[in-house]
Amino acid sequence: MMRLLSLLAALLVSGQAAAEDVTVRVTTPAGEPVAHAVVSLPGALPASPADVVHEMAQEDLRFDPFVLVVPQGAEVVFPNRDRVRHHVYSFARDNAFELELYGREQERSVVFDAQGNVPIGCNIHDNMIAYIRVVDTPHAVVTNADGVAVLEGVAAGPVTVWHPYANAENNRLVLDAPADGSTLDVTLDVHGRR
Amino acid sequence: MIRSLLLAGLFSAGLSAAALAQSHPPHAQPGELEVDPYTVSDANAGADPIEDADVFVAFGGEAGIARVVDGLLERVREDERIEGIFRASDWPRLRRTLIEQFCYILGGPCTYTGRDMASVHRDHGITTREFNALVENLQDAMDAEGIPFALQNRLLARLAPMHRDVVTR
C-alpha cells in the first residue's frame, strides 16, 4: 500500500513538473531561419486518432505544405485545387501509395500506418516534391517562416529536429530539452531550399 | 529626378502586375472562365489553313464543324481513357476554341483566338496513347457527320504534327 501511494505521489510530482511549453528556434549556421523543420518530443499517442484533418494540397503545380507532420495512423487528404490532373506517389517503405487525382478532385485520402518519412512526388510534374513525416508522438510541430516551433504541454525528453534537407545523420539532430521556459536555439545545416 | 524615375519605375511595375491578372478575353462567351493573358494570333492554331474551298464546304461550313466538335466532346466525356484529363476543363471555352481552330484550318472565314498548342497542353502530362484516343473520337465524330474518309484525312494530316506540342510524356 505504501509503495503504491509513493508511486502515485511520484507520478503526480513528475506529471506536474513535466507539463510545460517548449519553444525551439532553428537557424542555419549563417543565422537564417529554417522553416519546414519538424520538432518533436516523445509522448504517447492516444488510443484512437484525434479528429484532425491533415491536408497535403496541390495548387499551382506545387504541394502545400512542403513538410507535413502527422501522428501514426493519421488520415491525410490530398485535395487537387489545380485544373490539371496530378499523379501523386511515394515509394516510402511501409507507406507507399499512389493516387491519380483529376483536376479539382478534392476528396481522396491516404492513411499512414507506419512511422517514418514519406517523400512524395507527382508523376506528371517532376518539380513537385514534398515530405510527410509520420511520428509516434502527439508532440510534433513544423517550424514556421521564422524557424520557430512551439510545443505546448509536453513531457520531459529529448528534442528531435528533422528537416528533409538537413546535413545530419538521418536528416536530424537529437538534443536535450531546454530548461524551464527557455528557448532552445538549434543550428541546423541544410542544403537546398524549397 | 532619381526619385521620380524610381517612382515611375514602381508605377509601371504595378501596372504590368495588374495587366497580368486573369480576365475574360473580348472573344469569350458567357460561361467561360477567366484566363491568363496571352497574345491572340492565328499562328496559335498550330497549322496553316487548307487552301481548297471544297473541304470547308464538305464539312458543312461552320455549322457542320460545330456538330463535329460537339460529337467529339460528347465522345471524350464518355471515354474513360481520357475523360479525366478534361474533368476540370473550361468546356464552353474548349468548345468555342476548337470550333475556331477547325474552321480556321479547314479554310473557313474564322479567326483562332485560343492559346498555342504547347501552352494549353503543357501541364496535362498527355501520353501518345491519350493523344491517339482523342484522334479516334474525332474520327468517329466525323464518321457520324458523314464526312468522306479522304476529307477526314485532310484535317487529320494538319492535326497530326501537333503531337510534338501536345504529348509530353
Q: Convert the pLDDT of each residue in A136-180 to its tens digit.
A: 999 999 999 999 999 998 877 899 999 999 999 999 999 998 877
pLDDT at position B65, please?
A: 98
Provide the 3-class DSSP secondary structure of residue B20. coil
Range name among A24-38, A96-110, A152-166, B4-18 with the lowest pLDDT average: B4-18
Q: What is the pLDDT of residue A153?
A: 83
Give, in order, the Cα–Cα distances in Å from A57 to each of A53, A66, A77, A97, A190: 12, 10, 8, 16, 25
Between B19 and A177, the more confident residue is: A177
What CATH class has A20-44+138-194? mainly beta
Per the structure, the count of domains in chain B is 1
pLDDT value at B21 more than 90? no
Is the fold of A20-44+138-194 the same as that of A52-136? yes
In a domain, B143, yes or no: yes
d(CA B102, CA B132): 18
What is the CATH class of A52-136? Answer: mainly beta
- Comparing A153 with A128, the larger pLDDT belongs to A128
Cell triple for A66: 512542403
Query: Would B34 be classed as within a structural domain?
Result: no
Whether B72 is covered by a domain: the verdict is yes
Residue A194: pLDDT band by 50, 70, 90 thresholds? low
% of residues, chain A, pLDDT over 70: 89
Q: Which residue of A has its CA nearest to B121?
A: A84
Domain ranges of chain A: 20-44+138-194, 52-136
Domain residues for the domain of B157 are: 41-166
Q: Which three cell numbers stand for residue B131?
A: 493523344
Under the banding of pLDDT at 50, 70 and 90, the label for residue A5 is very low
Q: Is residue B19 assigned to a domain? A: no
Q: Which of B76, B122, B123, B169 to mutate to test the interface with A (most CBs of A within 10 A)?
A: B123
Chain B nearest-CA residue for A84: B124
Considering chain B, what is the average pLDDT of its residues? Answer: 89
What ipTM was estimated for this complex?
Answer: 0.77
Specify if B64 maps to a domain: yes
Bridge partner list, A140: A40
C-alpha pair distances (Å), A11 with each of A46, B131, B159: 19, 68, 77
Distance from CA of B140 to the nearest CA of A (A): 25
Q: For residue A122, what pLDDT is reported?
A: 97
Closest CA to A78 of A97, A93, A91, A92: A97
Category of A181 on φ-ψ map: left (φ > 0), alpha (ψ -120 to 50) or beta = left
**Beta carbons of A85 and B89 less than 8 Å apart:** no
* CATH number of the domain bearing residue B92: 1.10.490.10
Q: Judge: A103–B169 Cβ closer than 8 Å, yes or no.
A: no
The long-range contacts involving A98-102, CB below 8 angstroms and separated by at least 24 positions, are: A98/A123, A100/B84, A101/A58, A102/B84, A102/B85, A102/B87, A102/B88
Q: Is residue B85 part of a domain?
A: yes
Mean pLDDT of chain A: 88
* pLDDT average, residue stretch A3-24: 55
Q: Write phi, then psi, for A135 (nearest 5 degrees).
A: -120, 160
- For residue B124, the chain A residues in CB contact (below 8 A) are 84-85, 124
| Residue B20 pLDDT class (50, 70, 90 cuts) | low
This prediction's pTM: 0.81
- On whether the CB atoms of residues B117 and B51 are closer than 8 A, the answer is no
Query: Is residue B57 predicted with pLDDT exceeding 90?
Result: yes
Q: Which of A9-13, A42-46, A99-103, B134-138 has the lowest mean pLDDT?
A: A9-13
Q: Is residue B9 part of a domain?
A: no
Taking only the tens place, the pLDDT of each residue in B58-89 is 999 999 999 999 999 999 999 999 999 999 99
User: Considering only B22-31, B109-118, B146-155, which range has the smallest mean pLDDT?
Assistant: B22-31
Give the model confidence (pLDDT) of A64-111 as tens digits.
999 999 999 999 999 999 999 999 999 999 999 999 999 998 889 999
For B125, name the nearest residue in chain A, comparing CA atoms only. Answer: A124
Across the interface, whether the CB atoms of B88 and A82 are under 8 A apart is answered yes
